[in-house]
């Protein structure tokens, strides 16, 4: 029985989430994260991954792909357990771990569905993307809205807020993530010419930040940081629109 590729991918994702979230309980998860490759729970978990992957493929010929998914799952989970021991805060590893698992499922399933002769279409698509000036400009714009903008803001405010001890608590990962999200949203709004939405976003953030901001330097830092963050995203968006119109 040969399923359409999208159906097969969905079934494999269902199998993955069943194995990693429904069947896997907290006790087993902690045990395999603690002992890694030496944990018997990891081997049992991987066996469940392989069995579910094969059953949900509804295809006898999928066994090699299920085995590949299981082996890579074993390697990734084992390496994650090693990393957890070396870092103080590993919550982000969960998202990296799941992201890699899902990417592998897409790759393996796509390979099975299209076989080698059809992978030329994938490479042609990548080639077309790389040859598209517009697409590359968009990628560059969104990239600039992430960590580069954080560094620019930090350097711009260093002259007035050089003592980080006073504002350290407000510059944790959550704050940087908020900055990333807000700039991506603003850039998207500018590219879609939805400037009214930017006003709503600025108002919403101002209300949320009002009670958080302490008197003195913290209040000024939050205000300047927000204005700089919004300004950078708007400038990038306007620049992209201007460049695209001139091409």
Q: What's the average model confidence in pLDDT over 64-72?
A: 94
Say if residue 240's pLDDT is above 90: yes
Say if residue 223's pLDDT is above 70: yes
pLDDT tens digits along 96-109? 889 999 999 999 99
184/117: higher pLDDT? 184
Alpha-carbon span 165 to 46, nearest angstrom: 46
pLDDT tens digits along 76-103? 988 888 887 777 555 678 888 899 999 9
Percent of the chain past pLDDT 70, that is, above it, reads 80
Alpha-carbon span 83 to 15, nearest angstrom: 26
Q: What band does 218 get if pLDDT is binned at 50, 70 and 90?
A: low
Q: What's the average model confidence in pLDDT over 132-159?
A: 86
Q: Where are the domains of the chain?
A: 5-126, 132-246
What pLDDT shows up at residue 116?
41
227/209: higher pLDDT? 227
Alpha-carbon span 79 to 161, nearest angstrom: 40
**Which alpha helices (H) appear in 87-132, and where do they start and end?**
91-114, 119-130
Q: What is the DSSP letter of 170?
A: G
CA dihedral 240, 241, 245, 247 (to 10 degrees): 10
205/239: higher pLDDT? 239
Say if residue 46's pLDDT is above 90: yes
pLDDT tens digits along 9-21? 899 999 999 998 8
Say if residue 168's pLDDT is above 60: no
Residue with tokens 């939805």: 194
What pLDDT shows up at residue 85?
75
Q: What band does 232 get if pLDDT is binned at 50, 70 and 90?
A: very high
What pLDDT shows up at residue 72?
95
Alpha-carbon span 232 to 150, nearest angstrom: 10
pLDDT tens digits along 184-216? 999 999 999 998 888 888 887 776 655 554 445
58 three-class SS: coil
Percent of the chain past pLDDT 90, that is, above it, reads 32
Say if residue 117's pLDDT is above 60: no
Reported residue count of the chain is 247
Q: Taking all residues of the chain, what is their mean pLDDT, rounded to a whole number?
A: 81
What pLDDT shows up at residue 108?
92
What pLDDT shows up at residue 132?
86
How many other CB atoms are there within 10 angstroms of residue 135's CB atom? Answer: 12
Residue 188 burial by CB count (10 A; 0-12/13-18/19+): exposed, middle or buried? middle
């Amino acid at each position: 029985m040969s399923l359409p590729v999208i159906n097969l991918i969905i079934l494999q994702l269902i199998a993955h989430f069943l194995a990693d979230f429904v069947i896997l309980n907290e006790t087993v998860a902690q045990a395999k994260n603690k002992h890694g490759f030496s944990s018997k729970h990891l081997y049992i978990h991987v066996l469940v991954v392989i069995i579910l992957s094969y059953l949900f493929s509804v295809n006898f010929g999928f066994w090699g792909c299920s085995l590949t998914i299981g082996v890579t799952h074993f390697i990734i989970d084992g390496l994650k357990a090693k990393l957890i021991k070396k870092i103080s805060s590993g919550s982000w590893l969960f998202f990296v771990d799941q992201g890699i698992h899902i990417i592998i499922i897409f790759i393996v399933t796509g390979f099975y569905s299209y076989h080698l002769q059809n992978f030329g279409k994938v490479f042609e698509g990548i080639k077309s993307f790389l040859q598209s000036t517009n697409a590359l400009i968009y990628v560059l714009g969104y990239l600039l809205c992430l960590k580069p903008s954080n560094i620019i803001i930090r350097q711009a405010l260093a002259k007035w807020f050089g003592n980080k001890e006073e504002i350290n608590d407000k510059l944790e990962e959550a704050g940087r993530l908020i900055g990333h999200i807000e700039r991506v949203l603003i850039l998207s709004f500018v590219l879609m010419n939805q400037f009214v939405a930017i006003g709503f976003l600025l108002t919403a953030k101002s209300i949320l930040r009002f009670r958080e901001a302490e008197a003195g330097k913290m209040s000024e830092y939050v205000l300047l940081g927000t204005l700089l963050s919004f300004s950078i995203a708007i400038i990038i968006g306007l620049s992209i629109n201007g460049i695209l119109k001139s091409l």
